[in-house]
Amino acid sequence: MKEMGLSSEGLPSAKNVAIYSGSFDPITKGHLDIICRARNLFDLVVVAVADNMQKKPLFSRKERVEMVRLAIQGMEGVVADSFTGLLAHYVQERGVSVIIRGLRAVSDLEHEFRMAFMNRSLAPQVETIFLMPSEDYTYLNSTVVKEVARLGGDVSQFVIPVVEERLQRKLRRSS
């Protein structure tokens, strides 16, 4: 019983933690959908904002973490963090063995598989779990949201109000 991680009453005894990583530039309702699904499976979900030097984010890491914090406000068992360097190292340092990623469409598969296999070779004891969002968010990504906002479109159905405000403020400044 103990080896299975079950208490004598048959309830999970160990706190299980998962890390949901990404750029979150900015956090969208699609990300939030995945966070809620992950939270249904894990006691604690760490939303880990990556500082990916290859991608040129619109928002700084600090701003992205701040928006994640605002978006998860009031969600019990969900916290925000950030990391630089390899996700595999960050996850290992935290002693966590599950990475959560979202899968929207077949187009995500190749990139996500490549990342998952790379992470597996770097950290063999860590598993990547893929979750699918609600159909409403299947074609939603941060890049599209930024593009629509830049062209003056309404993004309120894709991001929470505080993120929409910051997006508009940022785009006004950078134009």
Peptide bond into 26 cis (omega under 30): yes
Among residues 23, 29, 142, 166, the one annotated as catalytic is: 142
Question: Which residues have CB under 8 Å from 13's CB, separation 6+?
Answer: 5, 6, 7
User: Using CB under 6 A, which of 18, 22, 71, 149 touches ligand ADP?
Assistant: 22
User: Using CB under 6 A, which of 38, 119, 142, 163 touches ligand ADP?
Assistant: 142
Binding pattern for the stretch 26-65 against ligand ADP, x by CB under 6 A and - elsewhere: --x-xx--x-------------------------------
Q: Are 27 and 163 in contact (CB under 8 A)?
A: yes
User: Using CB under 6 A, which of 46, 67, 137, 164 touches ligand ADP?
Assistant: 137
**CA–CA dist 152, 4 (Å, integer):** 53
Radius of gyration of the chain (CA): 17
Nearer to ligand ADP, 24 or 59 (CB): 24
Does the annotation mark 104 as catalytic? yes
Residues forming the active site: 31, 55, 104, 142
